Amino acid sequence: MSRFRDEILEQPEVAARLIEKSRAAIDAFGARYRKVRPRGFVIAARGSSDHAALYAKYLFGRRNRALVSLAAPSLFTRYASPPRLEGQCVIGISQSGASPDVIAVIEEAVRQGAMTIAITNDPGSKLASAADLILPLDAGKEQSVPASKTYTASLFALALMSQAIDGDDEFAAALDRVPASMAGALKAEGDLDRLVPALAGPRAIVLGRGFNFSTAEEVALKLTETSYLLARAWSVADFEHGPIAVVEPGFPVLLVGGGGSVAGDLESIATRLVEYGCRVIGIFDCAATPRGIESVAVYNSGLPEELTPLTLAVLGQLLAYHVALARGADPDQPRALRKITRTW
């Protein structure tokens, strides 16, 4: 059995538990936010958590009309020249709560008097103790080196925070459907086998846009670290500004889409890549998918586009697991990687 796959399967339960157990922390965050009224957000993270921060950039920007900046931790550490953080809500995201550079950003934010919150799976960690507020993920110990349940728990925690800032009955109802929707995505695992041959290696491109640009980044990372496939993610818009020149007949491209406002962009790029002879495949959470591509795995959860990164992350993780097996790699313990990476 694979620990990585086991932890992927735990995600609906983790999401349900987070709804129940995070209420006090979410209420405390909402109350503090309304009192302080920060001008925007600065988010510090590394690895998969950095992709959660990218998700927050779109989520808080769209739902809460807030400007989000992703911190450059080396400014706080190697360069010792931290930017001014007064009036910002500074968020540190780290599954272990032990990343020294993320901790350094939160500590500096506290020194400058900014509002701070730690999103972590270890409420006893140094990151948690450094921040004003803590939002524990309660995901249980994650033993596999590649993040799965802590990644989606971080996304869900950010979505709950967005709702705490600007409550909306329809979005609240959608949040309550997330655990069941993630369980539904797990049932689509059998459809992923048809995508695996296109990802035989040694390289691939993963494309998304908007809320699922973060998902494209995370799926590319999972493919790289679990099966050693050199996968690179781009936003569809950025991809068309230059990187598209790399494609050629037979080049594998994985599309990640959740419908909504950017659906037409994925349809357009799919048509163009098929014309170039690329092997275009996709994972989608929406009713309509691009036509003419080689193969797709689809689960239509009915969630708003803002929440489809949760279901699509599940499909992407399972896809990475199956690609790793096909390439003879151990997804639980990728070479040269450790669970906690202590960069500064």
Query: Is the dihedral angle over the CA atoms 142, 256, 310, 195 positive or is it negative?
Result: negative
* pLDDT one digit per residue (tens) for the chain, 344 residues: 799 999 999 999 999 999 999 999 999 999 999 999 999 999 999 999 999 999 999 999 999 999 999 999 999 999 999 999 999 999 999 999 999 999 999 999 999 999 999 999 999 999 999 999 999 999 999 988 889 999 999 999 999 999 999 999 999 999 999 999 999 999 999 999 999 999 998 999 999 999 999 999 999 999 999 999 999 999 999 999 999 999 999 999 999 999 999 999 999 999 999 999 999 999 999 999 999 999 999 999 999 999 999 999 999 999 999 999 999 998 888 775 665 676 76
User: What is the C-alpha to C-alpha distance for residues 95 and 153, in angstroms, rounded to an integer?
Assistant: 9
pLDDT of residue 53: 98
Name the architecture of domain 184-326.
Answer: 3-Layer(aba) Sandwich (3.40)
Q: What is the pTM of this model?
A: 0.96
Sheet of 133-136, strands arranged across:
67-70, 40-44, 88-94, 115-120, 133-136
Where are the chain's structural domains?
3-167, 184-326
**Strands annotated E in 192-229:** 203-208
pLDDT of residue 133: 98
> Is 21 assigned a catalytic role?
no
Name the architecture of domain 3-167.
Answer: 3-Layer(aba) Sandwich (3.40)
- Answer whether 3-167 and 184-326 agree in fold: yes
pLDDT of residue 15: 98
Q: Which of 21, 141, 222, 339 is catalytic?
A: 339
